[in-house]
Amino acid sequence: MRFAKRIFLFVALNVLVITTISITLNLLGIRPYLDAQGIDYSALMAFCLVWGMGGAFISLALSRVMVKWMMGVRVVDPNTSDPALSRLVAAVHNLAKAAGLPKMPEVGVYDSPEVNAFATGPTRSRSLVAVSAGLLEAMDWEQVEGVLGHEVAHIANGDMVTMTLLQGVINAMVMFLARVIAFFLFRNSRDGGGGMQFLVVIVLQIVLSFFGMILLAAFSRRREYRADAGGALLAGREKMIDALEGLRRTVKYADMTGHGSVAAFKISSRPGGLMSLLSTHPPLEERIARLKAAA
């Protein structure tokens, strides 16, 4: 049932993105980028920026709603009578106040054996911090506070917006370069390449996106180190280190999947070779070592 819901939401989101961007292109009067003289580079760049940035920011704008639906996140009422949940909300709000957030994040929990937490939301004023049931069961309270400090630091640092902006720029550059390269490959063809040129554009986008993912992952790893340092300042360095140690002991219960607009407290399994370049989170050993060295 949850898988079917995810497929439906994925399709619905893409329909929304395509419709919104198509309307935006018409409103902006962005004309076709190919004419009798060749490529209109200004029109092509505008086209790619609207598509590349538009999709990324629509996903970010809907990120809180999407994770609630897709992952079954239940937002906790700040006035809940459940002492455990009340303690969780109070901890997030105290950390948010210490971080200087203009508005308190929503706090949510979701049913999963994974040991994980994440932060998402389009702005520092419209954010969500969610933790898994598995994390609350596997960690003691000081470790949970370390995890929450890390997630609040992500929000305070504006990581969701920053990563979305970078993703949008990469998307736009991939689209731009793929079309320019394909145009020059087929510019002397009688029919301009036709369907073959379209296929070459798709292949080039896949190849160039791979290199874009490497850049995005490298930047993400830097943001994780920064969020660890921020979590250490907010919750305490020992709690942050203890949280990472706790994650290392429960690595088999850590979800390794990703979401573009979710800054998650995930674990790197130190994949070998080229795949290590695609890891969005540094190895736990390195994260712990950096925090200890900062003492």
CATH number at residue 86: 3.30.2010.10
At residue 268, the pLDDT reads: 47
**β-strand partners of 35:** 38
Residue 68 lies in a domain: no
The distance of Cα 99 from the centroid of its chain, to the nearest Å, equals 21
Give per-10-residue mean pLDDT for the chain (295 aa): 60 69 72 71 88 87 88 93 96 97 96 91 94 93 96 96 93 92 80 75 93 93 95 96 89 50 55 72 91 86
Residue 38 lies in a domain: no
Number of domains in the chain: 1
Residue 224 lies in a domain: yes
- Angle between the 159-186 and 41-61 helix axes, to the nearest 10 degrees? 150
Alpha helices per DSSP H over 39-158: 41-61, 63-71, 83-99, 133-138, 141-156
- Whose tokens are 């006035």? That residue is 79
At residue 19, the pLDDT reads: 78
Catalytic residue IDs: 151
What pTM was computed for the model?
0.85
At residue 107, the pLDDT reads: 97
At residue 264, the pLDDT reads: 62
3-state helix, strand, coil in the chain (%, to 5): 65, 10, 25
At residue 26, the pLDDT reads: 73
Residue 274 lies in a domain: yes
Residue 26 lies in a domain: no
At residue 260, the pLDDT reads: 46
With beta carbons less than 8 A apart as the criterion, state whether 195 and 240 touch: no
Q: Give which of 73, 70, 75, 59 is closest to 9, Cα–Cα.
A: 70
156 CB neighbour count, 10 Å cutoff? 21
At residue 35, the pLDDT reads: 65
Q: Give which of 37, 94, 170, 107 is closest to 162, Cα–Cα.
A: 170
Range of the domain at 140: 73-293
Residue 264 lies in a domain: yes
At residue 238, the pLDDT reads: 96
Residue 236 lies in a domain: yes
